Structure 1
């Protein structure tokens, strides 16, 4: 493991990518601590102590919302824009055509997503400033309101740009890594706060042990969910071309239990945050009512959260995996699934199996997302920060990034981070 980590920094291009990502994350965390002028910090802190959906909003902002910094909106506008564009691709033929145009089409969709993200950022910034102004938390008026809105929108654009820079010039998914950094940076604070509560007698040692066991179980479940797959056997018929024989091999099609990764969690959370943002354009009492109804601890929120996770799991799986295309490729190269006719029957069979596997993964994803929050509420742990959403994002992004680094190492004939050959020639998991 340590030799593999040493190999990472032996490769100049891989080393530069990792250092570039760390530099971008440093800039992101720096911006999260630059406050927007005119904010009453104490009133803002007391607002977040009340709990509710703001805590989840702050999760995606990496703590910037709690400070109401220039990066207070975080990546939420960009995520909302991505959701809308992907939904439009299903119903608008022109956008669907762009997706099939290769790199040029993707650039157009990315440009439209950016414009839509700026629109969402403007709506959220105006709603947030007016809402906080009505609660006497932010002291701005006249031109100052416009300056505050422009500052928040500019900060959101900067975060979007930082995420794209990581994706283009670094390693891993930029937006996911920014969310990952915002969650991980709060872990030391939560650990210190937990031990303070333990010493003060507000939390007993047994509760801490139970919470630790829950955390380990959920992390293990997240890893199993991310790595689990159903393998469909595939055989290739022998073909004689000239004097050579091709085919006759056996392989498999890996159908992942969770093909969508952490995207359903992020999308579902962002969708549930949007009504609260819109409500801030109205009276403070109406906004508080919506926030209470859509609080992460409310039954309505949990039901909607589960349904949206299942929906986005199926939706994103359909986006990234096309059974018809896979079946056509198998037929083109002489491959077939034993007992299934090539062509349309193969596509129907793959789709049927994928639907069942995805349902299990979606339900498991929803359970893991809700279980820690439910159990910590039952245990009465109010200040110990631990949620299934955060754990799923951290584990998913970490696994995805490690796999990309491992692929870079294996491509250059280095030993990977995750696997190592044993003396008997087998593969051992670390």
Structure 2
């Protein structure tokens, strides 16, 4: 029995994933010395930008810990590198897998340094002063910065290991943080016009029904896909039709991991005191109880939906692979025309997905303009979308691995 489990790929991957999640939770609770936990908590409670980014990237900014930065630098670095790869640059396209990995790690390191510096700067008044200095800076502040950057790079390594040897990819590591934040988002909102929601019996019933509808709608759309018939002249197969699938929710839950953070960046800049008229505009319009603010927020989700759909499906790479293998779509010339054909189909499906996103996220915000607290539903729904898309992909991966364990070549 034990020997069979050792050779069971599904069991090993599940065990490895659970170990990574446990390490992630452990790191989120290893306190950084030299910092006053209560003072840091009071300061960061007012910074909704960091709070929201931390929630959707597995960080911990409620108190100073080794993994306070979370997956934000890793995920942002991955997105930036994928966006760079979409550009028609020969030197980027000719990179080996090792070079691509090192480049992405370099971007992650720079982002980790920047975000760690921001966090240390915000809580600088609550760092125990040292009698030593490093390059003119307080030694304890520098030590805290180094610890945060080290923790962030360790999380990036854990994410890569989970992708390679675990299940669910890097997204599985943010599960605990999202589950922990959902009750807080429902009751207290995320600032910028959202506030306390009193959980009356009526509100709880409406919320429960809404969650069920959003949950099943997301599951249905995440399973839905367009199957484009594929002509394969080099392969004859009478048993099934070959096709290229394009998922309706090709972007997954990625747009919601960054939409709130992007929406709050102008407000964060305004707090730096750059321009009074700019600060007034941000204060009056960029919030969740103003039609303009809601429209801008939904617009950010739509743009991210299209962007992540292109990054995840990659029409150019698919068209190139089809051309190299000799496969093609009926009536479509291989190469650039195939790429354009796939891109158009992807954009149509992404439009349907974005309409769904806007309805699910935008409707509670609009209703919240007239009924206090209902806007908080929007943030819970976005977390549900993230969790469902990641969990559904995990189940699909588990199914494939399970079927592989049932396949015995000697029985054929």
TM normalised by structure 2 equals 0.76
Instruction: Name 1:391's counterpart in structure 2.
Output: 384
Question: Contact 1:230–1:254 (CA<8 Å) still a contact in 2?
Answer: yes
Match of 1:179 among 170, 174, 187: 174
Cα distance in 1 for partners of 2:114, 2:167 equals 32
Instruction: Name 1:55's counterpart in structure 2.
Output: 51
Cα distance in 2 for partners of 1:289, 1:152 equals 34
Cα distance in 2 for partners of 1:336, 1:120 equals 41
Cα distance in 2 for partners of 1:351, 1:255 equals 10
SS state at 1:232 partner: strand
5+ long unaligned stretches in structure 1:
1-7, 194-200, 240-244, 415-430
1:315 aligns with 2:307: yes
Tell me: CA distance 1:247–1:18, structure 2 relative to 1, closer, same or farther (3 Å): closer
1:39 aligns with 2:31: no
Which stretch of the first structure deviates more once superposed, 119-128 or 183-192?
A: 183-192
Tell me: CA distance 1:366–1:375, structure 2 relative to 1, closer, same or farther (3 Å): same
Cα distance in 1 for partners of 2:315, 2:103 equals 28
Q: What is the correspondence of 1:297-316 to structure 2 with a 5 Å cutoff?
A: 302-316=294-308
Tell me: CA distance 1:273–1:121, structure 2 relative to 1, closer, same or farther (3 Å): farther
Instruction: Name 2:133's counterpart in structure 1.
Output: none
Instruction: Name 1:266's counterpart in structure 2.
Output: 257
Cα distance in 2 for partners of 1:65, 1:284 equals 26
- CA deviation map 1:168-210 (0-9, x unaligned): 2222212x111123212456888999xxxxxxx9532011111
Tell me: CA distance 1:382–1:91, structure 2 relative to 1, closer, same or farther (3 Å): closer
Cα distance in 1 for partners of 2:269, 2:146 equals 18
Tell me: CA distance 1:95–1:39, structure 2 relative to 1, closer, same or farther (3 Å): farther
Cα distance in 1 for partners of 2:9, 2:244 equals 32
Tell me: CA distance 1:251–1:183, structure 2 relative to 1, closer, same or farther (3 Å): same
Cα distance in 2 for partners of 1:290, 1:20 equals 49
Instruction: Name 1:210's counterpart in structure 2.
Output: 206
Cα distance in 2 for partners of 1:152, 1:285 equals 32
Match of 1:410 among 379, 403, 407: 403
Q: What is the correspondence of 1:260-409 to structure 2 with a 5 Å cutoff?
A: 260-269=251-260, 271-272=262-263, 282=272, 302-323=294-315, 337=329, 340-343=331-334, 347-372=339-364, 378-380=371-373, 386-409=379-402
Which stretch of the first structure deviates more once superposed, 57-66 or 217-226?
A: 57-66
Question: Contact 2:361–2:379 (CA<8 Å) still a contact in 1?
Answer: no
Tell me: CA distance 1:342–1:124, structure 2 relative to 1, closer, same or farther (3 Å): closer
Cα distance in 2 for partners of 1:97, 1:155 equals 31
Match of 2:120 among 120, 129, 133: 129
Which stretch of the first structure deviates more once superposed, 72-81 or 346-355?
A: 346-355
1:229 aligns with 2:220: no
Question: Contact 2:364–2:378 (CA<8 Å) still a contact in 1?
Answer: no
Instruction: Name 1:426's counterpart in structure 2.
Output: none
Question: Contact 2:49–2:265 (CA<8 Å) still a contact in 1?
Answer: no
Q: What is the correspondence of 1:142-221 to structure 2 with a 5 Å cutoff?
A: 142-174=138-170, 176-186=171-181, 202-221=198-217
1:253 aligns with 2:250: no
The number of residue pairs the alignment matches comes to 382
Superposition CA RMSD, Å: 4.0
Offset of residue 54 of structure 1: 3.7
SS state at 2:406 partner: coil
- CA deviation map 1:285-313 (0-9, x unaligned): 99x98996766666666444433333333
TM normalised by structure 1 equals 0.73
Match of 2:102 among 96, 106, 111: 111
Instruction: Name 1:139's counterpart in structure 2.
Output: 127
